[in-house]
């Protein structure tokens, strides 16, 4: 075995030591420059890692939002396929609703059942049936809700602008009175609604709370309170109370479906009873109407493009002013319709035409257009139907019992002989319809049985319900909120 020499070892050791010294000097040189290099390097690394994290986060959020939107659109598209006329088919829904209002007028004048129900209730019954069997989207659509709000908004000023206020004033001072007795009757009707709601709450309140609590705390009491408001004012008050108390959409739809079903039983009964009586001021109204029409130029009473344009302009202007006053002065958007009612009465009474020398608005045009809007409103009122979510079906029975108590006690209050002796049956029926269905319902009842002298008082009294019902419904909720919390 060959042994390395001393020279070789020394040379190798010297070379290794030299290389080591070179490495040490290079390392020392790197250490002297390292603070700047490392700082810059770390900055670049941090920037790159931050960019990578942001990109990853964006990727995750994009993918999650994409999956969420995909699932949402998928579930939405699946839910919209539950009816023959899809949820988002605006023109299809409008065609069915407007066609229903036409069909209801034919049934209301040509068939025996239609005459008993009346044309407006017939329109409500038809759309209720179409939504219940799946032809229209169950629970109503955005299109039907928009049409409902638009139709009732236009119907109020147009019907009032087309009213004969000289006749209404005379009928108020006649036997039995006009608006004043109707107002007292409406107060009695409202008390009947409140008492019936209290009894219904005591009977099935706990059951309603338990069945509707899966979607929100106190949802049962919220819907009951909204139904109290609806059966003193109207659908506007129902939505207002639900919105103020933050009720769940599922509970809102269920309560509305049950109440619509009960209304379809109650309104035909009112129509059948009302068909047995004549206008309480029939002779007086006929004489006044004859005197007024005899002095009217036939050409001025006909509908023209100009008269229709003026009528729509007047209605839009009154609605705009009412909205400005309700939102900017009273800070209460729900008070728009009562304010518009007051403004419409001022315009229709002829006060402005006496102060300002302007041509009066054609009353026949306004009355005709208002009646069209009234039929459209009833067509949309039945649009929710009776089909509700499976999770809400357990609440139908207790809500139905509650509604039966409300309607039964309400009717029993009017069945007392003392009330019938103090007020005429016509005014009691109109007051009841004003409370249960609102001014549109009471006007529709007066029109269907030709109680012409009660049309204007019915509209005025019904709008008082619009003004006070929301506050009564919210007050009802807070009166029983503590008991509801204890029951849960």
- Contact by Cβ (8 Å): 220, 211: yes
Q: How far apart are CA 251 and CA 256, in angstroms?
A: 9
Closest to 286 (Cα-Cα) out of 294, 274, 296? 294
Number of H helices, E strands in the chain: 20, 0
pLDDT digits (tens, 9 = 90+) for 133-156: 889 887 778 898 889 888 888 988
- Contact by Cβ (8 Å): 440, 465: no
- Contact by Cβ (8 Å): 326, 339: yes
- Contact by Cβ (8 Å): 350, 102: no
Q: How far apart are CA 432 and CA 414, in angstroms?
A: 8
Which sequence spans correspond to the domains of the chain?
Answer: 165-277+306-362+389-487
Three-class secondary structure of residue 118 per DSSP: coil
Alpha helices in 162-248 (DSSP H): 165-173, 179-212, 219-230, 235-245
The whole-number pLDDT of residue 265 equals 86
Q: How far apart are CA 432 and CA 92, in angstroms?
A: 35
The whole-number pLDDT of residue 190 equals 92
Q: Which residues contact 173 (CB under 8 A, 6 or more apart)?
A: none
389 DSSP assignment:
-
Q: Which residues contact 478 (CB under 8 A, 6 or more apart)?
A: none
The whole-number pLDDT of residue 345 equals 80
The whole-number pLDDT of residue 358 equals 63
- List the pLDDT tens digit at each of the 488 positions of the chain: 444 443 333 444 444 444 444 444 444 444 444 444 444 455 554 544 544 444 444 444 433 433 333 333 333 333 444 789 988 899 999 999 999 999 988 888 788 777 777 777 788 889 888 988 889 887 778 898 889 888 888 988 888 888 665 544 444 444 444 567 788 889 988 999 999 999 999 999 888 888 887 766 788 899 999 999 999 988 778 877 887 888 887 788 788 878 888 888 888 888 888 888 888 776 544 444 434 433 434 444 578 888 899 899 999 999 999 999 988 988 877 678 778 888 888 887 776 666 665 667 787 888 889 888 888 888 888 787 766 556 567 788 899 999 999 999 998 887 765 566 567 788 888 999 989 988 888 888 888 888 888 888 888 888 888 888 888 999 999 998 877 777 65
Closest to 230 (Cα-Cα) out of 412, 372, 398, 399? 399
Alpha helices in 295-362 (DSSP H): 305-324, 336-348, 351-355
DSSP-derived secondary structure for 66-117: HHHHHHHHHHHHHHTTSSSS-TT-HHHHHHHHHHHHHHHHHHHHHSHHHHHH
Q: Find where tokens 């403004």 sit.
A: 343
Burial class of residue 364, CB neighbours in 10 A (0-12, 13-18, 19+): middle
CA angle at 216 for the pair 213 and 219, rounded to the nearest 5°:
70
Q: CB atoms < 10 A from the CB of 186, how many? A: 28
CA angle at 269 for the pair 263 and 273, rounded to the nearest 5°:
145
pTM score above 0.75: no
Three-class secondary structure of residue 184 per DSSP: helix
Q: Find where tokens 């315009």 sit.
A: 347
DSSP-derived secondary structure for 47-69: HHHHHHHHHHHHHHHHHHHHHHH
The whole-number pLDDT of residue 487 equals 64
Q: What is the dihedral of CA 162, 164, 165, 170, to 10 degrees?
A: -160
Q: How far apart are CA 362 and CA 342, in angstroms?
A: 19
- Contact by Cβ (8 Å): 396, 262: no
CA angle at 436 for the pair 271 and 90, rounded to the nearest 5°:
90
């Amino acid at each position: 075995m060959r042994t390395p020499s001393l020279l070789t070892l020394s040379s190798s050791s010297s070379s290794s030591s030299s290389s080591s010294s070179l490495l040490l000097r290079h390392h020392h040189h790197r250490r002297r420059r390292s603070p700047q290099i490392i700082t810059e390097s770390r900055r670049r690394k941090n920037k790159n890692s931050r960019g990578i994290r942001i990109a990853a986060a964006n990727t995750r959020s994009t993918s999650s939002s994409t999956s969420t939107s995909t699932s949402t659109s998928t579930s939405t598209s699946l839910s919209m396929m539950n009816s023959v006329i899809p949820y988002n088919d605006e023109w299809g829904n409008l065609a069915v609703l407007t066609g229903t209002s036409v069909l209801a007028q034919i049934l209301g004048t040509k068939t025996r059942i239609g005459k008993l129900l009346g044309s407006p209730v017939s329109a409500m019954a038809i759309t209720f049936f179409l939504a219940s069997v799946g032809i229209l989207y169950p629970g109503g659509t955005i299109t039907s809700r928009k049409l409902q709000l638009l139709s009732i908004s236009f119907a109020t000023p147009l019907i009032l602008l087309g009213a004969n206020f000289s006749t209404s004033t005379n009928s108020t001072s006649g036997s039995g009175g006009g608006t004043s007795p109707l107002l007292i009757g409406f107060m009695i009707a409202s008390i009947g609604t409140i008492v019936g709601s209290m009894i219904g709450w005591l009977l099935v309140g706990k059951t309603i709370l338990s069945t509707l609590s899966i979607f929100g705390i106190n949802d049962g009491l919220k819907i009951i309170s909204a139904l109290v408001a609806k059966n003193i004012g109207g659908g506007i008050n129902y939505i207002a109370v639900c919105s103020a108390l933050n009720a769940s959409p599922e509970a809102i739809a269920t309560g509305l479906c049950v109440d619509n079903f009960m209304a379809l039983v109650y309104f035909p009964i009112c129509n059948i009873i009302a068909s047995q009586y004549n206008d309480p001021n029939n002779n007086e109204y006929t004489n006044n109407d004859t005197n007024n029409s005899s002095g009217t130029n036939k050409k001025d009473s006909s509908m023209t493009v100009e008269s229709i344009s003026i009528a729509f302009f007047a209605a839009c202007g009154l609605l705009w002013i009412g909205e400005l006053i309700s939102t900017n002065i009273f800070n209460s958007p729900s008070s728009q319709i009562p304010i518009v009612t007051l403004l419409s009465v001022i315009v229709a009474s002829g006060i402005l035409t006496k102060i300002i020398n302007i041509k009066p608005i054609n009353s026949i045009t306004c009355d005709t257009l208002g009646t069209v809007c009234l039929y459209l409103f009833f067509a949309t009122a039945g649009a929710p139907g009776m089909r509700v979510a499976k999770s809400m079906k357990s609440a139908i029975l207790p809500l139905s019992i509650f509604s039966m108590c409300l309607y039964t006690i309400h009717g029993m209050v009017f069945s007392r002989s003392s009330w019938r002796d103090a007020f005429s049956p016509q005014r009691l029926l109109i007051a009841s319809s004003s409370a249960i269905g609102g001014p549109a319902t009471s006007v529709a009842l007066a029109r269907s049985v030709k109680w012409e002298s009660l049309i204007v008082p019915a509209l005025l009294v019904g709008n008082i319900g619009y003004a006070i019902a929301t506050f009564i419904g919210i007050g009802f909720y807070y009166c029983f909120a503590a008991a509801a919390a204890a029951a849960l």
